[in-house]
Structure 1
Amino acid sequence: MEFSIFQNNVAVSLSKVVVSNIFNVTLVIGGSAFLYPLVVKSETIKKEIPFTLLASVALLVLVSGMALQGLNENLLTRSDRIIF
C-alpha cells in the first residue's frame, strides 16, 4: 500500500500517478504498433505537436506555482484560473 499520501508527501504520489499513466499509454500504443503498424498523417503531427507542447507548459506552470510565484503553500492563484 502507498503511504506517501498519508505522510503528507503529495509530490511523490502525484509523480507516481503521472509516470504510471505515461507507462500505460506507451505500453498500449507500443503493443498496438508492434502488432499492426500505425499510420500517422503529417498534417495530424503538425496540428497535435503544438497543442501537446502548450498543454505541457500549462501543466508545468500549474504544478510549480510555489517556485514561480514565491508562495508558501500551493494555492489556486489568478494565473491558475486563467490557464483553466
Structure 2
Amino acid sequence: MQMFNDCIADLGLREIDRIGARFTWTNQQASPTQSVLDRVLVSPEWDLRCPLASLRAITRIGSDHVPLLLSSSDERPPIP
C-alpha cells in the first residue's frame, strides 16, 4: 500500500472531489457496511487542461455500486 501511495505522490496526482453520495459501495444489509471504493485521480497536466472538472455520484437503485460521472466541461454542474 505504501508503494501505491508513494507512486501517487511521486506523480503528483490529485483526487477530484465527488458531489453526491457520501459512499460509493454498500453491502446492502440491514446494518450496512459502506465504503468509498471508487475515486478519480488526475495528473497535474490534466488538471491544468480541465480546471473546472467535476465528479458526480449518480444514484442507482438495486446496485451495490454508485456510478460516477466525470465532467470536464467549462461549467460545474449545479449542486442540488
TM-score category, normalised to shorter length: under 0.3
TM, length-normalised to structure 2: 0.22
* Higher gyration radius (CA): 1
Compare the two structures and name the one with the higher strand fraction.
2
Q: Which structure is richer in relative contact order (CA contacts within 8 A, separation 6 or more)?
A: 2
